[in-house]
Chain A
Amino acid sequence: MSSVIYPQPAADAGAARAVRSASRPAKAVPSYTAIWLVVGSISMSFAALTSALIVRQDIGMDWKPFVLPPILYLNTLVLLASSVTLELARKELAATYLRSETRPHPRKWFYATLALALLFVLGQFLAWRNLAAQGLFLATNPSSSFFYLFTGLHGLHVFGGVLGLLYANHRSMRGLRFAAGGPLNVAAVYWHFMAILWVYLLLILRIRM
């Protein structure tokens, strides 16, 4: 772990502003470009899965709808809340830049985000338990297949997002400064996308079940 400390100006207002607003810096940062590409690609995958759902439901004629476990709605709120706390975490990070800290890193709101993330994943597991208790498993019916598929894949991507958040935090902790807020802004784009994606998936499941 390198302990390189870069010389700091008195108050790193530019960096702070960049972190707070996550605005595209004058010279584009590759990881920021890349994360939007990742969002696009994942969207394409879920679009394909959505069309698979629609086709399978209409053609198979064996679709048995079921009531979505109510905990899903609570989980949705938890995930949306985590987006809010992440935004607060970014403001926190900006403030540490303004205070010219040697190791500017986000704190309590960041850990709140992580906690909410884990709560979301736990909640999704409970939803799965609920379904299993009703005798609905992956292969039971196409409706349950798609439920597990959507929630499972989304959960996997959320897990990846958690790893991304941890990595962003790690980079901050190393005391490196990033004009654009760097890794945390990149992670934030992905994280908010996870929330938007979940709302979309929930809507599709709700409409089609």
Chain B
Amino acid sequence: MEQAPAQALRHHPAPPQNFIRKYIFSIDHKVIGKQYLGLALLSAFVGMVLSWAMRIHLGWPDASIPLLGKLSPNGAPGGVMTPEYYLSLMTMHGTIMAFFVLTAAPLSGFGNYFLPIQVGAEDMAFPRINMSSFWITFIGFILAALTFVIPDGPPISGWTAYPPLSAVGPDAGPGQGWGQNLWGLSIACFTVASLLGSLNFLATTLDMRTKGMTLSRLPISVWGWFITAALGLLAFAVLLPCALLLILDRLAGTSFYIPGGLVLADRVQPHNGGSPLLFQHLFWFFGHPEVYLIILPAFGIIGHVLPTFIRKPLLGGWKVLTACMMLIALLSLVVWGHHMFVSGMSPYSAMLFSVPTMFITIPSIIAMLIWIFSLYGADIRFSTPALFALGFLSLFISGGIGGFFLAQPSTDSYLHATYFVVGHFHFTMGISAVFAIFAGFYYWFPKMTGRMMDETLGKIHFWASFIGMYGIFMPMHFLGFAGHVRRYSALVDDYLVPLLGTQRFISIAALVVGAVQLLFFFNFIWSYFKGKKAAENPWEATTLEWETTSPPPIDNFGGRRLTVYHGPMEYNVAGSRGDYVMQASPEPAAARAGD
């Protein structure tokens, strides 16, 4: 019995009519994708506001932030932030940004919306599991937000939550009671939702491609999501036991991570024999692939967006960039110890971890060269998505270079836990990945909403963000060279006092860049309702999402079943009607001019 006809009915036998099934508990991957993007935007706003509060406090420790005083009279009496509240804000800033923005938006947001369309399917393989993935993520977000509302506040142990600080409970400090518990539950929800999401991404890509969509014709963005989903399946599967053991130590009196003889709050803690390093190993076994889970979808989006705006395929086609992404994903599983060079781990292990960490630069640099050298001889159209994609290239070079210093134990022994690390990961995750997300937004907004975002506002957003973000995070590398320790709520050490001026510069830059992001939010909302109407294929791109209406109908292609004839990068095709051939066009791809 054939699958195809049944499949046409399987996912959307009867489109939902009522508001709840259409927009709230929807099984349509496009709605779910938009829900994820909406949650990511909300989380980004929250995370950004947290960072503003942190930056104000760092620059002007005695400043009063009235709104903060209202939110937490304990944490900021009279609006002046206490040291523990700074750490609480820092912990939640990292947690919310890393998980609910950076892991959610490019993968669960854009991936959910566009992967099925780009492979020519009607929906994800498991629409109801997809729906529950989103809502479990949402519950996770609510739990994280709840930490701000409970009396003791959010945890202060950082997004890395090292035990014993995170494990012994309230004796360790404020926020370490229910704050840490809620945090753990939030992470657990996110993890489960992520694992379920991976199943959908992988099964849909493997089993639900339309006719003619061979693996070699998949858009690079699909490869990015596919590889990320596979890596996530392995990485998140380790975070779950890691977090479970922490929860058991906290609530059930076990001693997986807590050794004996610890004295906190004048009490000898009732644990024995556990190993804080065990947590670090388990956490970073997840933690390092996590940062690649953040950047690989970005690689996919950039690899997808660039050809459209340079009107050329990428050098090496899909094969080279995809091979780079796979190699990066694979290597990311064996480098976690580079977070632990000075942790007390065996110094021999340190050298063992350093080698693959250094080697991971090779596929990263190959990918970067592919993108840059594809620009040679191109015809670059500088629309806003293109600017963000090009900005990504510059930012990722900057971020990646910092990695050379941190990958070697000898140099890392000085730079570890300084602002050099903060600059490095903000460059790679905080701004490169974010620029890829912005590129995705500006690129795909017309398809998702049927309207164009305003180009002028977009360009202002780009320029201010690009220059401003360099201004925020490049000086952090310099502070790192000076040995400025991270996670400090105030600069009291002798050698730090002269660096206050630099911190203030960074804070001002951060506030300005933050304000500019509001421009993006405004552009987004205004264009949603009032933007210029978008054509079906405003960027003259080749992939399947541009073969359907803007926005697409519920089954993505209006009852049609597309057949794919070409790869995704048939730009600059001589003899074709335009300078490009769409994937589903039966028109043959003639020889490329200048190939």
Contact = CB atoms under 8 A, between A and B. Distances in A.
A108 B505 CA distance: 75
B288 interface: no
Contacts of B248: 138, 145, 149
B18 interface: no
B274 A41 contact: no
Nearest to B232: A41
A45 B240 contact: yes
Given A48-B285, A138-B248, A145 B254 contact: yes
A142 interface: yes
B241 interface: yes
A33 B209 CA distance: 14
Given A52-B282, A138-B248, A30 B255 contact: no
A116 B203 CA distance: 31
Q: Determine which residue in A29, A34, A49, A142 has the highest number of CB atoms from chain B within 10 A of its CB, and name it.
A: A34
Given A28-B206, A37-B203, 9 more contacts: A30-B203, A30-B204, A37-B233, A38-B199, A41-B234, A45-B241, A56-B278, A59-B273, A145-B256
A36 B277 CA distance: 32
A139 B203 contact: no
Interface in A41-73: 41-42, 44-45, 48-49, 51-52, 55-56, 59-63
Contact of B241 (A38, A49, A60, A145): A49
A23 interface: no
A179 B1 CA distance: 6
B281 interface: yes
B3 interface: yes
Nearest to B279: A52
Contact of B238 (A34, A48, A60, A61): A48
B48 interface: no
B490 interface: no
A60 B203 contact: no
Interface string B176-202: 000000000000000000010011001
Contact of A30 (B125, B238, B275, B281): B125
A131 to B, nearest CB: 15
A40 interface: yes
A26 to B, nearest CB: 9
B207 A29 contact: yes
- Chain A interface, DSSP helix/strand/loop, else mixed: helix
A48 B125 contact: no
B238 A55 contact: no
A27 B446 CA distance: 34
Given A60-B273, A60-B275, A62-B273, A52 B256 contact: yes
Given A48-B241, A138-B254, A177-B1, A30 B273 contact: no
Nearest to B208: A30
B237 interface: yes
Contacts of B3: 27, 29, 179
Contacts of A37: 198-199, 202-203, 233
Contacts of B208: 30
Nearest to A14: B1
B253 interface: yes
Nearest to B3: A27
Nearest to A177: B1
B242 interface: yes
Given A30-B208, A62-B273, A52 B233 contact: no
B14 interface: no
B252 to A, nearest CB: 5
Contacts of B234: 40-41, 44
Interface residues of A, number: 33
A139 B252 contact: yes
Interface in A98-144: 138-139, 142
B272 interface: yes
Interface string A163-183: 000000000000001010000
7 contacts: A27-B3, A30-B207, A40-B234, A41-B198, A48-B242, A51-B281, A145-B256
Contact of B233 (A15, A44, A60, A63): A44
Contact of A33 (B1, B206, B253, B281): B206
Interface string A185-202: 000000000000000000
Q: Determine which residue in A42, A52, A62 has the highest number of CB atoms from chain B within 10 A of its CB, and name it.
A: A52
Contacts of B539: none
Contacts of A56: 256, 273-275, 278
A20 to B, nearest CB: 17
A52 B281 CA distance: 9
A37 B248 CA distance: 27
B238 to A, nearest CB: 4
Given A28-B207, A62-B273, A138-B248, A42 B237 contact: yes
A45 B202 contact: no
Interface in B103-126: 125-126
A138 B252 contact: yes
B238 A44 contact: yes
Nearest to B271: A139
Contacts of A33: 125, 202-203, 206-207
Contact of A62 (B198, B203, B236, B272): B272
Contacts of A60: 255, 272-275
A139 B253 contact: yes
Nearest to B259: A60
Interface string A60-97: 11110000000000000000000000000000000000
B146 interface: no
Q: Determine which residue in B202, B252, B254, B260 has the highest number of CB atoms from chain A within 10 A of its CB, and name it.
A: B254
Nearest to A33: B203
B334 interface: no
